[in-house]
Amino acid sequence: MDQDNNSEEESVGISEDDAQQRYSHELSDMEAIEVLWQMRAQRRQTNPDLPNTVTRLTTPEGSVVYLVGTAHFSDSSKKDVTTTIRAVQPDVVVVELCQYRVSMLKMDEKTLLKEAKDINLEKVQQAIRQNGVMSGLMQILLLKVSAHITEQLGMAPGGEFREAFKEAGKVPFCKFHLGDRPIPVTFKRAIAALSLWQKARLAWGLCFLSDPISKEDVEKCKQKDLLEQTMSEMIGEFPALHRTIVAERDIYLTHTLRQAARCVEAPPNGQKVPAVVVGVVGMGHVPGIEKNWDKELNIQEIMSVAPPSRFSWVLRTVLKGALLGVLGYACNLLMASNVLRLKRPYIFNSSSVWLRSYSMDGMGTAIALRRSPLERLDFDNVVLRKLPVEGSEALGVRTVRGACFSRVKPQPLQNPRFVAVSGPAMELLSLSAEEVINDPLGAEYLSGSRVMPGSEPAAHCYCGHQFGHFAGQLGDGAACYLGEVKAPADQSPELLKENPSRRWEIQLKGSGLTPYSRQADGRKVLRSSIREFLCSEAVFALGIPTTRAGSVVTSDSRVMRDVFYNGNPCMERCSVVLRISPTFIRFGSFEIFKQADEFTGRQGPSYGSNEIRTQMLDYVIETFYPDIQQSHSDPVERNTAFFREVMLRTARLVAQWQCVGFCHGVLNTDNMSILGITLDYGPFGFMDRFDPEFICNASDNSGRYSYQAQPEICHWNLARLAEALNPDLPSDQAQAVLEEYTPLFNMFYLSNMRRKLGLLRKEEPEDEILITNLMQTMHNTGADFTNTFRCLSQISCPAEGEAVEDNEVVRQATELLLQQCSSLEELKAASKPTMDPRELSMLLSLAQSNAALFGMLSDRRTLARQLEKLSRLKELLESTETDLKTKQTEEWTCWIKQYRQRLARECEGECDVKAVQEERVRVMDSTNPRVVLRNYIAQNAIKAAENGDFSEVQRVLKVLEKPFCMQEGLELPGCMVRQGSEEAQEGDEEEEQREAEEDVTGAENKVIVSYDSRPPAWAAKICVT
């Protein structure tokens, strides 16, 4: 397992990150890597003075393996590991753990002690369910040994492995591997190899192992002569057990160490050089590894359990009863009381040392048998009972008629692992981020590689109008409904209002093929998954209704993607996002009943099944709008009230988007939630430089979903929903409701904007003009949307006796806002028409000579926008930087004077202007975010994650969780980006995107740009489709 670069431990010497920051201003990426490689080589001791517990092994290629023999309850073993890793600076660290015990690496001592001592009925049941009766009970008894020693010593085993994990994280380029055979395989093979009499004797000995043990006793386990004596006695009493638990694992560990000792590539030319490996294993395995080191090994023979013969099965079934009675009685005793502390002599005198030495496997059992927190989720999958589910479970893409859901099977991923987990989102499910991350099965469950108990994977069928045209059946092509998790009983009133169903639907996005995948593969990649994950949580933190994202998991499975749509695809990692919402039903869910569209000829797959539409409408209102259901007995009145509420929520939502500069990018009807919350984060974008025609989706050539078009598009989508609900919602009733939309949107928008401007006490008709003038000034000067509003709280109300147009106050405010304005070169780049001049000339000619042909190729709004850009570009080309600065100063000075006059009226009649100002600043700073998810911030985190470093995603998440960050003096972290000319570069879209990504990842001439700064000029080149 490669260790992610997200350790919070302090480093010894200079760390990789420190080196990058120290040299980044003068070194390229490859040069920085070479410097780190050389630094590590200098710190590596050629003839290290190592503890006597270290054995040196070599390979024919010249690689060196330093094998540290340890006792699992030993402080001195931890010191031996630390000394060895620091001295030899390894390429790889291999530890005697498997994937079922990996979570102990991140657990603290207190948690481990609790796990070792906590033996309960649930763990017994889990052990039997995973491994069978015999193996399961034997695991529990071995766990008791570990618990006994843990209690005697007051410390948890495996400290040397946690120390190795920590120290490996401090060595540049060091990988961390799990080297042991999976513990279920070991136990199953061990139990299968014993006779019934041997199982009984071993169980009896384990049950009554209770003599005192000291740290000195444990240290004796590191002495080779004592271990040799112990092993010889064990072989005499339990040869089969020694073979499976010791000898076979010696073979497996030897194989893993030899794999890790393969040559590694050295920068800058990738030349193969011998590797240095540190192996951390129990001292009892060292002799076997030495013995096997130069032998040919067959791993397959020790990885499977042969099925018993029929006669053997019958005989064992008859004889198991008596033995199970003994084991069951023993387990009951060890769970119910302290009877097992009786000071009885050991049945296996010398073998007790072996049992103590290998009690680490008992600790592994404790970790492996911990019930996954995700298995505690209480599912109540109501929607699958209330709405029709397709009868067929066949694989393959198809048209699904007469059903709202299809059952599916998520496809597993190779080596799934967490990129990040959102604590606030997981709290909705009564989980913490820490317990999910530490769950050995967490990444498997939340990637679809394993199905949670109680979940019922399904895909939702819906249709949609895409870019204004009905597309027919769409559906969850890459998403998978897992089920509905009951909310905690103590759910807050706010959450209860948001989600009256008291259930949270959880969904995996990117979990594989469904009947709705069309020509796609049902997968999502790391880029889009990180963007959706971060933006879902960022929008929530801004106070905007949204679906949530609990986690993002990536894997070693890969799919091919054409990033730039230019015919040059590449392989990218499959990744999965956990999405959480009261429901994912959307406008398009009701469009599956649509008749054939007059323009596209497509119809909904369930056209004519009107009873299902009524059934779905009843379910949505009863479940998510219970107040409306209870207050209306007449169906038409109820449905009209429901539509009015959806309209109101949608108007409020888009007003909130507009006020933070958020552009959704793909406002098709299939991306509009029936709850009025933000749904489906694709090519979204937060505006940097204010532009009312801002288009965040590079595929939206017509600007249909531009920033300024969003309110009207949402109104259009509501009209399509009304059509889909007819006749349950009569058209005349729907039209009357739709006429209320624009006044409501304007009301919400003005209310939010007044708060952003700190106009809290009075509402004046002129406020709308003031806001319009602000937007125009921002557009003309190329001001940054987010930062400009944040700066406004620093413009104070005129004090008593202070002139509204005080020149010094206005000058300071103007200088503050000018810092957020674009340079001449940035404005030139932004004003450049996207159309080729020859194409633009042709369209102009067609618009005058052949209106019909012109209408087929473009539209007048697009042409007007291009001409406006061309006109502005011409003006800018004739200007100088000084001319622009003068004009920007004039425009801001004019608006600030208007604003100060309005603030003066705000304070009229107030005796305490200072209190008014303090309230304004408080409200404005909690309304105008200091940081949003800008594209370059997301891209920086994505590139780091694609290189295996998830720490930037996690850091960005923490910042976005507190976007208002009230302490202005507090420095926010930032991205390391290239410092260079702001001049816009010529070239096609793909080349500009490549340059932008190089700016994110390159190390040359870089500076730290705080997350709340204006973005670097090259950020405008990043395009998302």
Structure tokens, 473:
């059946």
Check residue 868 and give its pLDDT: 85
Please give the residue that has the higher pLDDT: either 437 or 853. Answer: 437
Closest Cα to residue 405, out of 565, 616, 580, 253? 616
| Angle in degrees, 0-180, between the axes of helices 196-207 and 310-336, rounded to the nearest 10 | 10
Mean pLDDT of 808-821: 95
Alpha-carbon span 515 to 592, nearest angstrom: 15
Give me the pLDDT at residue 306, please.
Answer: 56
Give the least confident one: 102-106, 716-720, 774-778, 982-986: 982-986
Model confidence at 162, pLDDT cuts 50, 70, 90, reads confident
Q: Residues 670, 691, 728, 1012: which is the catalytic one?
A: 670
- Token pair 């006109």 is found at 871
| pLDDT for the residue 18 | 47
Q: Is the pLDDT of residue 112 over 90?
A: no
Residues facing residue 420 across a β-bridge: 552
Q: State residue 644's pLDDT score.
A: 99
pLDDT in tens, 614-627: 999 999 999 999 99
**Res 852 pLDDT > 70:** yes
Question: Which residues have CB under 8 Å from 172's CB, separation 6+?
Answer: 15, 16, 19, 36, 37, 39, 40
**Minimal CA–CA distance to 371: which of 135, 142, 107, 123?**
123
- Choice among 188-202, 454-468, 610-624, 974-988 with the minimum mean pLDDT: 974-988
Rounded Cα distance, 963 and 424, in Å: 14
- Sorted by sequence, the CB contacts under 8 Å of residue 636 that are 6+ apart come out as 728, 729, 730, 733
Average pLDDT of the segment spanning 84-88:
94
Q: What whole-number distance in Å separates Cα of residue 721 and Cα of residue 707?
A: 22
Count CB-CB contacts under 10 A for residue 780: 16
835, amino acid identity:
M
- For the segment 930-958, what is each residue's pLDDT rounded down to a tens digit? 999 999 999 999 999 999 999 999 999 99
pLDDT of residue 972: 61
Q: Which of 430-439, 631-640, 1014-1023 has the lowest mean pLDDT?
A: 1014-1023
Distance CA 276, CA 260 (A): 9
The per-residue pLDDT for 243 is 82
Whole-number pLDDT of residue 29: 59
Q: What is the dihedral of CA 486, 491, 495, 498, to 10 degrees?
A: 50
**pLDDT (0 to 100) of residue 173:** 84
SS3 call for 273: strand
Report the range of poorest mean pLDDT among 11-25, 657-671, 854-868: 11-25
Taking residues 146-154, report their average pLDDT.
Answer: 57
Q: What's the mean per-residue pLDDT of the chain?
A: 83
Q: Is residue 188 exposed (0-12), middle (13-18) or buried (19+ Cβ within 10 Å)?
A: buried
Q: What's the pLDDT band for 871 if we cut at 50, 70, 90?
A: confident
CB 639 within 8 A of CB 590: no
Residue 187 has pLDDT above 50, yes or no: yes
Can you tell me the distance from the alpha carbon of 741 to that of 729, in angstroms, rounded to the nearest whole number? 17
Block residue for tokens 């890793």 = 85
To the query of whether residue 670 is one of the catalytic residues in this protein, the response is yes
CB atoms within 10 A of CB 920: 24
Domain boundaries in the chain?
50-304+321-369, 374-741, 769-909, 935-1021
Among 62, 64, 44, residue whose Cα is nearest residue 54: 64
Cβ atoms < 10 Å from Cβ of 329: 11
Mean pLDDT along residues 219-232: 49
Compare 114 and 677 and report the one with higher pLDDT. Answer: 677
Question: Taking 90 as the threshold, does the pLDDT of residue 154 lie above it?
Answer: no
Q: Give the end-to-end CA distance of the chain in Å, rounded to a whole number.
A: 33
Position 134 scores a pLDDT of 55
Counting DSSP H helices and E strands in the chain, the numbers are: 41, 21
Q: Residue 420, Cβ neighbours under 10 Å: how many?
A: 27
Mean pLDDT value of segment 762-772: 96
Q: Answer left, alpha or beta for residue 405, where phi above 0 means left and psi between -120 and 50 means alpha.
A: beta
Give the per-residue pLDDT at 215: 53
Share of the chain above pLDDT 70, in %: 76
CA distance 168 to 176: 7
Name the more confident of 12 and 778.
778
Token pair recorded at residue 450: 């394993």
For residues 172 and 14, give the distance between their C-alpha atoms in angstroms, rounded to a whole number.
Answer: 10
pLDDT bucket at 20, cuts 50 / 70 / 90: very low
**Region 412-441 average pLDDT:** 95
Residue with more model confidence, 147 or 906: 906
* Nearest by Cα to 70 from 59, 56, 55: 55
Residue 998 has a pLDDT of: 52
The angle, 0 to 180 degrees and rounded to 10, between the axes of the packed helices 635-660 and 710-725 is 160
Task: Kindly give, in sequence order, each residue whose CB lies less than 8 Å from that of residue 227, ignoring residues fewer than 6 positions away.
Answer: 221, 283, 284, 287, 357
Q: What values do phi and psi take at 122, rounded to 5? A: -60, -40
**What is the reported pLDDT for 192?**
77
pLDDT, position 300: 80
Per-residue pLDDT averaged across 420-441, rounded? 95
119's tokens? 């033996």
- What values do phi and psi take at 65, rounded to 5? -120, 125
- Name residue 678's beta-bridge partners: 546
Position 836 confidence tier, pLDDT thresholds 50, 70, 90: confident
pLDDT per residue as tens digits for the range 371-426: 789 999 999 999 999 999 998 888 899 999 999 999 999 999 999 999 999 999 99
Return the amino acid letter for 781: T
More confident residue, 806 or 641: 641
Query: Residues near 565 by Cβ (< 8 Å), separated by ≥ 6?
Result: 1025
Q: 3-state class of 141 per DSSP?
A: helix
Q: Which pLDDT value is given to residue 158?
A: 76
As a whole number, mean pLDDT of residues 251-257 equals 93
Parallel/antiparallel/unpaired status of strands 92-95 and 175-178: parallel
Q: What is the DSSP letter of 518?
A: T
Q: How far is CA 685 from CA 578, 586, 998, in A?
A: 21, 22, 20
Query: 271: which strand partners?
Result: 266
Query: Is the model's pLDDT at 981 over the cut of 60?
Result: no
pLDDT band at residue 116 under the 50/70/90 scheme: low
Higher local confidence (pLDDT), 420 or 238: 420
Write down the pLDDT at residue 123: 58
- Token pair belonging to 482: 């897992």
The DSSP element (H or E) to which 877 belongs, if any, is helix 860-877
Question: How far apart (Å, rounded) are the C-alpha atoms in residues 314 and 584?
Answer: 52
Dihedral pair phi/psi, residue 339, rounded to 5°: -55, -30
At residue 494, the pLDDT reads 85
Cα–Cα distance for residue pair 64/68, rounded to 1 Å: 13
- Categorize the per-residue pLDDT at 1020 as very low, low, confident or very high, splitting at 50, 70 and 90: confident
For residues 119 and 143, is the Cβ–Cβ distance under 8 A? yes
Which residues are within 8 A (CB) of 938 and not within 5 positions of it... i.e. 6 or more apart? 530, 531, 534, 535, 956
**Amino acid letter for position 512:** G
Asked if residue 986 has pLDDT above 60, the reply is no
* Pick from 275-289, 513-527, 791-805: least confident: 791-805
Q: What is the pLDDT of residue 420?
A: 98
| Cα dist from 509 to 323, 394, 446, 579, whole Å | 48, 20, 10, 7
Indicate if the pLDDT at residue 447 is higher than 70: yes
Separation in Å, CA 30 to CA 27, 268, 913, 995, 1001? 8, 7, 59, 17, 11
- 765 prior amide bond cis, ω within 30: no
pLDDT band at 150 (very low <50, low <70, confident <90, very high): low
SS3 string of 203-245? HHHHHCCCCCCCHHHHHHCCCHHHHHHHHHHHHHHCHHHHHHH
Q: Say if residue 800's pLDDT is above 50.
A: yes
How many whole angstroms separate alpha carbon 601 and alpha carbon 635? 32
pLDDT tens digit sequence for 337-348? 333 333 333 333
The confidence score (pLDDT) of residue 853 equals 72
Least confident of 344-358, 667-681, 725-739: 344-358
Query: Above 60 in pLDDT, residue 653?
Result: yes
